[in-house]
Structure 1
Amino acid sequence: MNVQSTPSFSRQHYLGGLLIALTGAILFSTKAIVAKLIYRYHVDAVTLIGFRMAFSFPLFAVIAVWQMSKSPPLVKSERWRLIALGLIGYYLSSFLDFLGLQYITAGLERLILFLTPSFVLIMSALFFKRKVSTLELAALLVSYFGIVLVFLHDLKFGGDKVLLGSAMVLGAAISYAVYLIQSGQMVTKIGSLRLVSYAMCVSSAACVGQFFLLRPVSMLIQPLEVYWLSLINAVFCTVLPVFMTMIAVKRIGAATASQAGMIGPVSTLFLGAFFLNEAITTWQLGGTALVMGGMYLLSKKKS
């Protein structure tokens, strides 16, 4: 949506949408901080994501049932595709992300995930023969150079664990990029609210099922802090950001909402320093600036 070309589009409406987008981006980025806090209670990734999705499932289920009651039923091919999207886009991506967070800083994790639009671009070029412009290529190079700076800095102190964790989070970003590409057609057919709620229900079932398959029931008994942090992770770092982003896109357009999301890596860097005592170095600030600059160039590309 182009704000300048819409006379009736009030500044208050625009600023409200921008605030929603910024808040959603910060909340979504905070999941890395919450996950790190939960890991302090010797909880593994399978348990962490199982608790997260168990708490968020009821909220997504309510929205899914509401959408189901007011929409025509899905055909068989759409149902299978939704299941695949839920498994790839939210289950696999989230699981790899939380696995990686065991070994790397929250700041590096957010920077790697922030490269997802660049992976969408690369996949579009490789599989759909989309032409990559000079501006887009420059954006990719700048962003990846920023990641290399932060990665090398963290590798110096974390060794092989940083390499393993970074590879896992990279896999999370790639799997989510696949989800974004594959979900494009379905969004126009069934709508974004319906798609997200259905896919998140599939993901929740997979995460909870994985927990009971791989962990004993006794693992359900955790310190009270784990339950509270998992509830925060589910409501404030999962459900709310998903729908706030959708509202923001509707108000101010996808391009502006995407640019507002650039606050994510910065907020994670400073939240990590505040809550986790993660150091903020010149290398990290420089790498963050390069990644955000590259993604900004990418967002300025006209379709």
Structure 2
Amino acid sequence: MKNVTLLTYTLLLLFSVSCGVPQADFDRLKKENEKLKKEIAECELTPAEILEKANVYYDASDFTKSREKLKTLIAKYANSDEGKKGKRLLKRVENKILETARAQNDQDTEVEEEEKNEGLSEKEEKERKARQKKKEAAIAKMNKKYDINDDVTWYSDKSSTKLNTKNYIQAYIGKKEKKPWIGISINYFSKKKWLFIERIEIIADKKTFELEENTPGEFNSKEESGGKREWLDRVIKNEDMLMTKAIASSKIAKIRFVGKDDVSTRTISKNEKKAIKNVLEAYVALGGNIK
């Protein structure tokens, strides 16, 4: 009603002064009048019409305008069928906006690199290309998966297992924007009995490293596939990096699970060590530091 009153006033003002006011003022009033007409038309849209407009913008890849329409729909008609559909569509729209921003960020980074490399000598350019080729080779050994909900790209060695019924020690990488981090995942599985793991020991050649809970409950356990699964998954901090590097470079490495009443020890395989080494190299290629 307020907009209608304002529109009426503006129309009257336009009519009364059109013959006597400067052209600039007349044009401004005319523009405001058109804007008010548009706002009133928007207010009169039904929930179905608002949702339809949001879908049209979405199909045209105009995600910003689609988001605006969806937020209006949800604010005014949250409990309607269209409002519920709008909430679901809004999640997709937000993800698309995030993807677009991420792609733009990658493009900007490439432009920055190109500008940085301008003016290099022939020798420097050759060295740069060799480093770039090495980085690409390291990353090519990884499986890459983008988590659209958390805006994180995950990297893991192509030989890494996803089976929870296997005993393994694996490293992986997470990257958000420009900053990567590295994590370690250790899985123990038995068809016999629970170990109730209290600590894990890594013996790499003659060096021994201990992993204990940083917080209560960090050692997880679950009955799965007819057996007992116990595992640890954490981001590697400085104290764990030495251990990870030692495993990758070791001739013989063993992992010992120290439980409440029992101990289980196995040899870390060559494939596991190679995979961890690959992850460390990819981590450096992505901008990480293992020193």
Whichever structure has more helix as a proportion of its residues is 1
Greater relative contact order structure (CA < 8 Å, 6+ sep)? 1
TM-score by length of 1: 0.29
Whichever structure has more strand as a proportion of its residues is 2
TM-score by length of 2: 0.30
